[in-house]
Structure 1
């Protein structure tokens, strides 16, 4: 499920996926790089390296599986905390139904 997020200051719009992140599952930290999400890039990379080195890569695969379930939620929460808002009513309704925002704390 895709949503559109808009920065009210710059009017920049980003399209974000809600739910499981297949790209993070298969490619680990690379989706964070392409999104410009440097905080989670560093966290995923360091975790992959630390757990992957001593487990011959098995730990890295396990970490990618965990982050695949939570990365999109973390990314959307970071956008919301940075002031981004839903760009349309459909995106707003999805964010409300998934518990990201409450009906009273956002305006279109």
Structure 2
């Protein structure tokens, strides 16, 4: 389920998916990099390196699997915290049904 978020101050519109992140599952820390989410890019990169090096990559794969379940929620919460709001009624309803605190 995709939602549209808009920032009223900058008029920037971003589309985000709610739920499991298949892109994070397959591409790991490249997803936050492409989205411009620098904070989570560096966090995910550091965790992947720290756990991946001593385990020959196995720890990095586990990190990718775990973040696949939580990254979209983290990304949407960061957008909402930076002033983004639902762009339409569908997005607002979807956020409320998935227990996001959308600003009014």
Normalising by the residue count of structure 1, what TM-score does the alignment of the two structures yield? 0.94
CA distance in 2, matches of 1:60, 1:27: 11
1:94 matched to 2:99: no
User: Could you tell me which residue of structure 2 aligns to residue 5 of structure 1?
Assistant: 5
Match of 2:57 in 1: 57
CA RMSD of aligned residues (A): 0.8
Show structure 1 runs of 4+ deviating over 3 A.
Answer: none
* 2:83 counterpart residue number: 83
Q: CA deviation at 1:42?
A: 0.2
Cα distance, 1:101 vs. partner?
A: 1.8
The DSSP-based 3-state class of the residue aligned with 1:4 is: strand
Residue 21 (structure 1) aligned with residue 29 (structure 2): no
| Deviation by residue 1:54-99 (Cα, 9 ceiling, x = unmatched) | 0000000000000000000000000001110000000000000000
Count of residue pairs brought into register by the alignment: 104
Alpha-carbon distance in structure 1 between the residues aligned to 2:42 and 2:101: 26
Q: Distance in 2 between matches of 1:89 and 1:31?
A: 27
Uncovered stretches (5+) of structure 1, i.e. residues with no partner: none
Aligned residue in 1 for 2:37: 37
